[in-house]
Structure 1
Amino acid sequence: MKYIKTKRLIMRDWKQSDIPEFVRMNMDRDVRRYFPNVLSAGVSEKLAVEIQKDIEDRGFGLFAVERRDTGEFIGFTGMQVLEEDGPFRLEMLPGIEIGWRFSKKHWNQGFATEAARGVLKFAERHTDIKEIYALAAERNLPSINIMKKIGMEKMDEFDHPLIVDGHSLKKHVIYHIELEKRRRFPL
């Protein structure tokens, strides 16, 4: 089982007991407000299995996040591979993307930033990853703020090809961070 520990959180492999909250989180319109739709229970259950398989296959992925004080599953944070043959073309493909999603009752408490910093530290110490990217709808200011807080810089903008023209989520931003610089010049 993989673990990343921070002051208040544990990032770990997924457990079957995480799935009901993951399903609820992905059906919450507020949690999914910067995505075109909410996810059905079946899609979320399948996604959790795929996420855990990525962790087992690669040694990293989108880890389940648990509060250390309560043992409660509160969301996920981690890294995933942006495949070159994925659904759209970007200049940094293939690449590694950092991402996060938390249940609403755990927002605005610094958990996402703390977890993302823990994942970056994990990547620096336990992988040979040189650069990490983050993608978000241009309107997704909460995620963009986290990107900035963890030291990422804006790299580019693009129109997301899987979102219909005219949709308010069409315009996306790309942020990145160079881990080689962090390894040589830690904050």
Structure 2
Amino acid sequence: MQPTSSRLNYAFITEDDLEDLYQLDQDPAVMKHLNGGKPTTMEEKKTIFLPRMAKYANKEKGWGLWKVNIKESGEFIGWILVRPMHFFNDETDTEWHNLELGWRFKQSSWGKGYATEAANALVEQIALMPEYTYISAIAVKENLGSIAVMEKLGMRFVKEYMHSDPLGDIPAVHYEREL
């Protein structure tokens, strides 16, 4: 899988991208809807984030984090997540028909359509794989920016619920669309 789009480049994230991942999480505005605005420490990135990412990363299937850079400047602006929906809880889609998308972007890139462009690029690649029938995304209901991206991707509201995760349960909204 190799996503493409007009303004952005994509690469599969590995441990070599740790510094970019860490720097992205240092902006309290970026972290606001994830943990109340607390920057992630390098230790948390090394001991929690990277091992967690490694559990679902599978480049062949497109599962993992995809680094997003602006073509013109090469600047890293964020990432797109692709993994089986509910991967870390008991509701896992064991047949992996439903993929979860997620995103995290630098505040300087907000409002420019980059998250939607990047997510669309991944969705186009996912849609070519017949084993996947749905894409989904979750967010806290106050994260109107992420919900707007979900709607631009053609996703529709499914439910409001308590999302279960080993790192802590969160009240969330779930959006989904058929491929």
Normalising by structure 2, we get a TM-score of 0.81
Give the SS at the match of 1:4. coil
Instruction: Tell me by how many angstroms 1:174 deviates.
Output: 0.3
CA displacement at 1:78 relative to structure 2:
3.4
How many Å apart are 1:28 and its aligned residue?
A: 1.8
Aligned to 1:31: 30
Q: Is the 2:82–2:100 contact (alpha carbons within 8 Å) kept by the matching residues of 1? A: yes
Q: CA RMSD in A?
A: 2.5
Q: Given the superposition, is the C-alpha separation of residues 178 and 93 from structure 1 closer, same or farther in structure 2, using an over 3 Å criterion?
A: same
The 5 A counterparts of 1:16-165 are 18-36=17-35, 37-45=38-46, 47-48=49-50, 51=53, 54-56=57-59, 58-83=61-86, 86-87=88-89, 89-90=90-91, 93-94=93-94, 95-161=98-164, 162-163=168-169
Name the aligned partner's letter for residue 143 of structure 2: N
| CA distance in structure 1 between the partners assigned to 2:100 and 2:171 by the alignment | 18
Q: Partner of 1:34: helix, strand, or coil?
A: helix
Alignment partners' CA distance in 2, 1:178 and 1:54? 23
TM-score, length basis structure 1 = 0.78
SS at match of 1:27: coil
Q: How far apart, in 1, do the equivalents of 2:62 and 2:113 lie? A: 26
1:99 partner letter: G
Kindly provide the amino acid, as one letter, of the partner of residue 152 in structure 2.
K
Task: Pick the structure with greater CA Rg.
Answer: 1
In 1: Cα distance, 2:14 partner to 2:64 partner:
14
**Structure 1: unaligned runs, 5 residues or longer:** 164-169, 180-187
For structure 2, list consecutive stretches of 5 or more residues without a partner in the other structure. Answer: none
C-alpha distance after superposition, 1:142-185 (max 9, x if no partner): 0000000110000011034534xxxxxx5310000100xxxxxx
Percent identity of the aligned residues? 25
Give the length in aligned residue pairs.
Answer: 169
Q: Is the 8 A contact 1:156 1:175 kept in 2?
A: yes
Q: Give yes or no for the alignment of 1:8 onto 2:20.
A: no
Task: Quote the offset at 1:50 in angstroms.
Answer: 5.2
